[in-house]
Amino acid sequence: MAELRRYLCEALGVTDAACHIVLIGVKSPAGQTPANVELVLLRRQDRTSEVMTAFCSRLRDLMTGWLGCQTAIRCTLMETELYFVARQPT
């Protein structure tokens, strides 16, 4: 997980605090990609279609190597004003 977080933070230009990772095990039906990575990122001007396509392709290759199975990457960019979080106080 530490290596994944380092890659994501470096590639996306964010700090550890901005990189929330959750792994959820699922069983996929026959014929579907056995591993899927779902990303929701805040839109930034430097996150162009070309940049994000290259990022997702590289992440797919890394995850396929780490997991040892085919991996699909799905990435959604959202507007900052549409992002809301409600956390318990620490």
Query: What domains can be seen in the chain, in order of their start residue?
Result: 2-81 (3.30.429.10)
Scan for tokens 């992002």, then name that residue: 83
Judge contact between 74 and 38, C-beta under 8 A.
yes
Judge contact between 41 and 47, C-beta under 8 A.
yes
Task: Please list the pLDDT of the chain residue by residue as tens digits (90 residues).
Answer: 788 889 999 999 998 888 888 878 778 889 899 999 999 899 999 999 999 999 999 999 999 999 999 999 999 999 988 888 898 988
pTM: 0.81
User: DSSP strand E in 8-83: where?
Assistant: 35-42, 71-78
Phi-psi region of 20 (alpha: psi -120 to 50; beta: other; left: phi over 0): beta
